[in-house]
Structure 1
């Protein structure tokens, strides 16, 4: 589902860059709520957040010809919003002569780290799934029972109706194949 949304986002963005203003409107509608929710993790000032989101889309609209190809539009929007919020908070701090200690700055790195960890987890899960799909069904079943369902060898023998040594051999061949495929 997430991959399909990303593909449609990339398609909408390409269509927008080609001059389709309805695609721009769809991009906005598709991302406004998720950007707002993300922004609330960075600031509690909802008016500032709304202004920054609109500024991001205005800049996207005015600079569309200069942007070129963007591989991940959603990430681009998140990063643009974060940068815009940081700029606005810095301006406010500078204009008010308030020291950094007096301003309750949100911890942007926490939100960024969470997002990056989530993306990394998705990529790792996808890699594991592709590697497991290359094993025989019996190897995949044995490894799944052992590593994911945390079954003991005796339980795996019973479930798969195999003797102990055969399960060990199956596991060894499956792990060896995974190591070869992963390298």
Structure 2
């Protein structure tokens, strides 16, 4: 079999449709890293970008026989990655909104007053201070000041996606240091 460089992309698609592993492997080797970088531009998360790029290749291999003819395989791959990234960002936005709603619901529910352990509170603030500078500022504005992501993005002249990424990283960092229980403490601060 000729290499992809020697074949036209529609020939490559036909080879993949015939389940020729060599064609699929070559396509993967040529485009995987490029697709990861493209996805990382959207998500600002290398692991998720790699997952999405891999999913696109797996889906191509799995569903190639059901797909209509693809004359521009390169464009198809990039569009698939872009769409998955946008769906992931949309999901993260809904997830963040749901978390915020849950925290507000817990605060307004008739939950007995929780006595705040001052030592634990100091630990939480200490871990927040360990965050990278921009993540720390964004986290404080969103969580401690109660501002919406859009407000913080406008104030800092950055995108809402950037705020979302910093918040996700901040929560991950804090969870790794304090466990999940810190969320309840944050809701009463």
TM-score when normalising by structure 2: 0.48
Greater Cα radius of gyration, structure 1 or 2: 1
State the TM-score, normalized to the length of structure 1: 0.49
Larger proportion of helix: 1
Q: Tell which has more relative contact order, 1 or 2 (C-alpha 8 A, sep 6+).
A: 2
